[in-house]
């Protein structure tokens, strides 16, 4: 059985690494605390257009070094989006 070497990784410059670190991200406010109880399962139907937009957003996320997979799953992306929406609505109420 033939084996091949993994694709070589692009060496990032120190400036590129710093740019990723400094870009950072948003955090959930301390006032917002989602219920961390037992998860409930739901089914969701989304159009191909919405799934395509989610895929485009996922592709912009950094991947784990050496991983061919996108940096975040569709499920996790949707959960993150819901939590951000709930936080915004909670912030506007106060």
Per-domain residue ranges for the chain? 45-94
The band of 28, judged by pLDDT with boundaries at 50, 70 and 90, is low
At residue 40's C-alpha, the angle toward residues 34 and 44, to 5°, is 100
CA–CA gap between residue 87 and residue 67 (Å, rounded): 31
The band of 11, judged by pLDDT with boundaries at 50, 70 and 90, is confident
Global pTM?
0.54
Q: Count CB neighbours of 30 within 10 A.
A: 6
> Tokens standing for 25?
């991200």
């Amino acid at each position: 059985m033939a084996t091949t070497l993994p694709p070589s990784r692009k060496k990032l410059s120190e400036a590129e690494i710093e740019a990723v670190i400094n870009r950072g991200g948003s955090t959930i406010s301390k006032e917002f605390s989602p219920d961390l109880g037992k998860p409930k399962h739901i089914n969701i139907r989304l159009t191909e257009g919405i799934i395509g937009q989610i895929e485009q957003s996922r592709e912009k996320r950094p991947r784990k070094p050496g991983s061919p997979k996108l940096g975040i799953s569709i499920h996790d992306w949707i959960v993150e989006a819901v939590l951000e929406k709930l936080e915004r609505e909670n912030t506007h109420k106060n």
